[in-house]
Structure 1
Amino acid sequence: MTSILTGDIINSRKVDSQIWLPLLKGTLIKYGTTPKTWEIYRGDSFQLEVEPTAALIAAIHLKSSIKQIASLDIRLGIGVGAKDHNSPKITESNGEAFVHSGEAFNRLNNKKTLALITPSSSINEQMELAIDLALLTMNNWPVNAAHYIQASIEHPDWKQLQLAKHLGKSQGTISQSLIRAGFEDIMKLEKRYRELITNL
């Protein structure tokens, strides 16, 4: 079983790709190599393959990366399931996970920017409601909060003091920003997702 993230950049034409493309590539490369694990196509669309347990944190990670540009956001459809054909290029592979990812992506719009489909209708129902609620906060992350969230995800073992030193900000500034961004609750959702998907 695997998971496929299918995504694109909202408002990509309003910002020079030389500004947002390095952010996107810089995050995708942390999950593997192109074109085997991830690939960008049609300018602002991409696919990424990760372990099912890592799918939601990868989605949050990608969103925090792109939201560092004020006018941009990202749409992501997560599909979990089997992989029938394993091509050297992810965009030429196929299977249940790819079908689910495409179906999830087709449900998206500029407000519903993240959706998930797994082989379990119970997990799908639980996660759809939770993700929709989380998006009320995530879609409105300010630039600074997105930057702090990305750093927190990339350095999960760091204390806030280390994070503050790394980012050149005060611990209080980062703490307040993460609280307003709902980061702790979003990480609780991510933990719950991992628990559910592990038992699938």
Structure 2
Amino acid sequence: MVIFLFITLNGYICHVNKKKQIAVITGDIVNSSVLNEDQKKVIQNKIEGIKNEGILLKPRFYRGDSFQLAAKPIVALKLALKFRLEVKRWQERNDVRISIGIGEVSSWNEDVLLSNGPAFERSGKNLDGLKKKDLNIIIVSGSRELDRELETYCYMADLLVQDLTSVQANVIFYKLDGTPQGKIGEILHISQPAVSKTLKAANWKAIEKFIKRYAQIIEKNYGISA
């Protein structure tokens, strides 16, 4: 039996098929103990300010420095990267640790923290294990084969993101949305050649390949509209 759960989100009625796969993004602020309350609040506001039509349940913070939200799987990786880039372009020494869990829903609530199911369990459980892996992003689907492939990509992408300067993070932040280089230059008040040089130095092509491969995996295993 297929069960549909209905919620109201930002004035719209949304429905979620319990059998449909969703992505749950759970994160926490890296080294939050060295930040004061004002700095934590800035990061919280930046994360809550990220908009995407694929967000199903808006971010909720808990325990002060941790947060969770639900989204369509197809946009989950870009959202996770945008959260990290938004923080790093503010202050490059700061970062966010993120676990993406893909799976079904058992209980759906307008408050993401009151929802549960395999996607939520995978996301929360694997966030706790990231410190041991010296990794700041992980994607877990429940498929051993897929998860091995995704973890390999995550390790490579994480090395690139961790090393980004605030300038590089700023440029890639806009590039993730497909913003043309000329427009990025206008926004950041730098030349188009400077944007191109920054993207090359930041290894944008490698990050872009990971994003495209992730989209292929999601489309193949969960459907193009997942």
Both proteins in one fold, TM over 0.5: yes
Shift of 1:37: 2.6
Match among 118, 128, 131 for residue 109 of structure 1: 131
1:153 aligns with 2:176: yes
Greater displacement, 63-72 / 93-102: 63-72
Write the distance in 1 (CA, Å) between the matches of 2:74 and 2:64.
Answer: 28
**Identity over aligned pairs, percent:** 27
1:82 aligns with 104
Shift of 1:148: 1.1
Greater displacement, 79-88 / 164-173: 164-173
Match among 105, 116, 121 for residue 144 of structure 2: 121
Greater displacement, 101-110 / 37-46: 101-110
2:23 aligns with 3
Deviations 1:99-119 (A, max 9, x none): 110122122128300011103
1:59 aligns with 80
Shift of 1:89: 0.6
Task: Count residues in correspondence.
Answer: 196
Greater displacement, 181-190 / 83-92: 181-190
Counting only pairs closer than 5 Å after superposition, residues 1-200 of structure 1 correspond to structure 2 as: 1-15=21-35, 16-27=39-50, 29-30=51-52, 36-68=57-89, 69-109=91-131, 111-154=134-177, 156=178, 158-200=179-221
Q: Which residue identity is paired with 1:12? A: S
**1:137 aligns to what SS in structure 2?**
helix
Write the distance in 2 (CA, Å) between the matches of 1:20 and 1:62.
Answer: 9
Q: Which residue identity is paired with 2:156? A: L
Mark the runs of 5 or more structure 1 residues left unpaired by the alignment.
Answer: none
Conserved 8 A contact 2:25-2:68: yes
Write the distance in 2 (CA, Å) between the matches of 1:71 and 1:9.
Answer: 12
Higher-Rg member (1/2): 2
**1:94 aligns to what SS in structure 2?**
coil
Shift of 1:33: 7.9
Write the distance in 2 (CA, Å) between the matches of 1:174 and 1:146.
Answer: 11
Shift of 1:31: 5.4
Q: RMSD of aligned C-alpha atoms?
A: 1.9
- Bigger proportion of residues as strand: 2
**2:131 aligns to what SS in structure 1?**
coil
Conserved 8 A contact 2:55-2:70: no
